[in-house]
């Protein structure tokens, strides 16, 4: 029996017509990220994230001390994102830079597909898609091939599970625990998941009848303890929680790291526009939220205003927090949750696999030259330099090239005191400290970005000479008049 082309097209059309809108949104975002992919690798930390993952694969163990710097040799350090780093390293080994791009794009697409899926359960389809797209726009600056994008879908699913349990006046299902356990092995942000559990527990008690307070509180407390235990199911045990806290103890340093800097409203941004639109909409429609949800909204807003890296948390979780009260007060009817059949899922998976292979085979993926001072590193090797004081932005690339670094993106390793002294020295806010660093660490070379203030001083400082200059980096070595 033969099957003609018309029959095949009919089967294909029938299969794809059963794919729900929320899944199409994820597919579209995934395709967009593959085609406009340069931004995913636009972060120097991606280099050392993959290098750490490769170290884990090569040694069959996890790092517990620093093995990359000459300024902190042997200092206690653990990698709370070890699983994400292994995934990125393995994907790089398979497909080069296309591998991390595909992995990161998949994590991002899954996140917003899930968000749209949860939204359309309580909102009309158009509203659900528009809210999800607005979240995409707000989160775009943090679409990077780094561990946090692999943890985002887990965060969305975790928050939605907690919200659903709270609104049902029930404790969360223990089937949620593997989510936060996996989250704890992918990224240090899992600690926020524990905070969310406490916040939704309060919300659940607010919704409960007085006779339910005690049993419900005990069951939520049991879930919270179980979630805490699940977070410790990592190769580092309790160490993963302690390591995550170190980031929050960096004090003044957080203002200097771009992703941790507070929001800047000197220019109109998508974030400011969103806040103004939300305030205007709430005032116009008279939206009311229960006190626990108000506290959650204010908490998410405070996080996003305090540190730029929390913007995607605000964008992803705010719709979940306000979803039910807003939908109820505005009388919005849900679109219904579209189901994916096995046939449509199989066809879509095959189409994605073929499309991914086709696109990645005809595109070249690589980090930007501004963070990859390849020529300058060759000059370092040519001059046999061993202790190079590097610009922090070059730390990831130097680790990638298996060269000892003075500093890199692992702020929790170097700490506030060391890193602030480093910044003040290179910015010439403390020239004495800058000269002291050169002697204290027996520096024989400096690899700096062209705009660094210390470059001007070195050009006029006896005992140092410039041996390499390009658009990405300038290299100084000891010697000369």
Q: Residue 3's pLDDT band (boundaries 50, 70, 90)? A: very low
Give which of 308, 298, 264 is closest to 278, Cα–Cα: 298
Does position 236 have pLDDT exceeding 60, yes or no? Answer: yes
- Average pLDDT, integer, range 414-439: 91
* CA–CA distances in Å: residue 320 to residues 21, 159, 178: 18, 7, 20
pLDDT at residue 10 in the model: 44
C-alpha torsion angle, residues 393, 399, 404, 409 (rounded to 10): 40
Q: Which residue has the tokens 């116009």?
A: 284
Name which of 113-122, 151-160, 337-346 the model is least confident about: 337-346
Of the candidates 26, 396, 45, 39, the residue with the CA atom closest to the CA atom of residue 187: 45
In which band, very low, low, confident or very high, does the pLDDT at 315 lie, cut at 50, 70 and 90?
Answer: very high
Query: Mean per-residue pLDDT for 201-226?
Result: 94
State the average pLDDT over residues 147-151: 97
Any idea which of 23-32, 320-329, 332-341, 412-421 has the lowest mean pLDDT?
332-341
Question: 465 φ, ψ to 5°?
Answer: -140, 145
* pTM metric for this prediction: 0.91
Average pLDDT, rounded, for the chain: 90
- Percent of all residues in the chain with a pLDDT value above 90, rounded to a whole number: 72
In which residue are the tokens 């659903």 written?
164
Q: What is the pLDDT of residue 417?
A: 87
Residue with tokens 């500093």: 407
**15 has a pLDDT exceeding 60:** no
Round to the nearest angstrom and report the end-to-end CA distance of the chain. Answer: 88
Gyration radius of the chain's alpha carbons? 25
Q: What letter does residue 315 receive in the DSSP assignment?
A: H
More confident: 341 or 337: 341
- For 189, half-sphere exposure in the C-beta direction (CA atoms, 13 angstrom radius) is 20
pLDDT tens-digit series, residues 26-73: 999 999 999 886 689 999 999 999 999 999 999 999 999 999 999 999
Q: Which region among 3-7, 154-158, 274-278, 413-417 has the lowest average model confidence (pLDDT)?
A: 3-7
Residue 101 has pLDDT above 50, yes or no: yes
Residue 102 in this model has a pLDDT that exceeds 50: yes
pLDDT in tens, 342-355: 777 888 889 899 99
Say whether pLDDT at 12 is over 80: no
DSSP letters, 91-141, are HHHHHTTHHHHHHHHHHHHHHHHHHHHHHTTTS-HHHHHHHHHHHHHHHGG
Residue 141 CA to residue 439 CA, distance in Å, equals 39
């Amino acid at each position: 029996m033969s099957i003609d082309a018309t029959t095949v097209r009919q089967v294909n059309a029938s299969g794809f017509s059963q794919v729900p809108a929320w899944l199409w949104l994820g597919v579209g975002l995934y395709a967009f990220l593959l085609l406009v992919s340069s931004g995913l690798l636009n972060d120097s930390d991606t280099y050392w994230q993959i290098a750490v993952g490769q170290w884990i694969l090569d040694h069959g163990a996890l790092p517990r001390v620093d093995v990359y710097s000459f300024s902190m040799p042997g200092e206690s350090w653990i990698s709370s994102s070890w699983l994400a780093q292994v995934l990125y390293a393995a994907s790089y080994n398979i497909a080069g830079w296309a591998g991390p791009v595909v992995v990161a794009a998949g994590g991002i697409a899954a996140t917003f597909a899930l968000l749209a899926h949860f939204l359309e359960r309580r909102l009309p389809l158009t509203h659900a898609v528009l809210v999800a797209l607005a979240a995409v726009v707000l989160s775009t600056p943090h679409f990077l091939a780094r561990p946090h994008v692999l943890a985002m879908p887990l965060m969305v699913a975790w928050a939605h599970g907690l919200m659903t349990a709270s609104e049902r006046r029930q404790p969360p299902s223990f089937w949620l625990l593997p989510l936060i356990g996996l989250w704890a092995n992918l990224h240090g942000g899992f600690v926020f998941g524990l905070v969310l559990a406490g916040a939704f527990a309060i919300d659940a008690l607010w919704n409960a009848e007085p006779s339910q307070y005690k049993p419900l509180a005990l069951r939520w407390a049991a879930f919270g303890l179980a979630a805490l235990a699940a977070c410790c199911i990592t190769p580092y045990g309790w160490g993963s929680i302690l390591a995550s806290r170190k980031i929050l103890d960096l004090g003044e340093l957080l203002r200097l790291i771009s992703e941790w800097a507070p929001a800047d409203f000197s220019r109109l941004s998508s974030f400011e526009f969103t806040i103004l639109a939300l305030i205007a909409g709430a005032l116009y429609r008279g939206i009311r939220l229960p006190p626990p949800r108000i506290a959650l909204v204010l908490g998410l807003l405070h996080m996003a205003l305090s540190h730029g890296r929390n913007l995607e948390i605000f964008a992803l979780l705010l719709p979940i927090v306000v979803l039910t009260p807003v939908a109820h007060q505005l009388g919005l009817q849900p679109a219904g949750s579209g189901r994916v059949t096995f046939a449509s899922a199989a066809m879509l998976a095959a189409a994605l696999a073929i499309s991914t292979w086709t696109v990645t085979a005809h595109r070249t993926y690589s980090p930007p030259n501004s963070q990859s001072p390849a020529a300058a590193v060759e000059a370092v090797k040519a001059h046999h330099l061993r202790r190079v004081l590097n610009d922090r932005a070059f730390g990831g690339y130097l680790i990638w090239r298996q060269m000892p670094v003075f500093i890199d993106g692992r702020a929790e390793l170097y700490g506030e005191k060391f890193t602030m002294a480093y910044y003040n020295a290179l910015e010439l806010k403390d020239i004495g400290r800058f000269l002291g660093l050169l002697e204290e660490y027996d520096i024989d070379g400096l690899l700096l970005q062209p705009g660094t203030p210390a470059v001007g001083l070195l050009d006029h400082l006896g005992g140092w000479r410039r041996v390499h200059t390009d658009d990405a980096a300038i290299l100084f070595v000891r010697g000369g008049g």
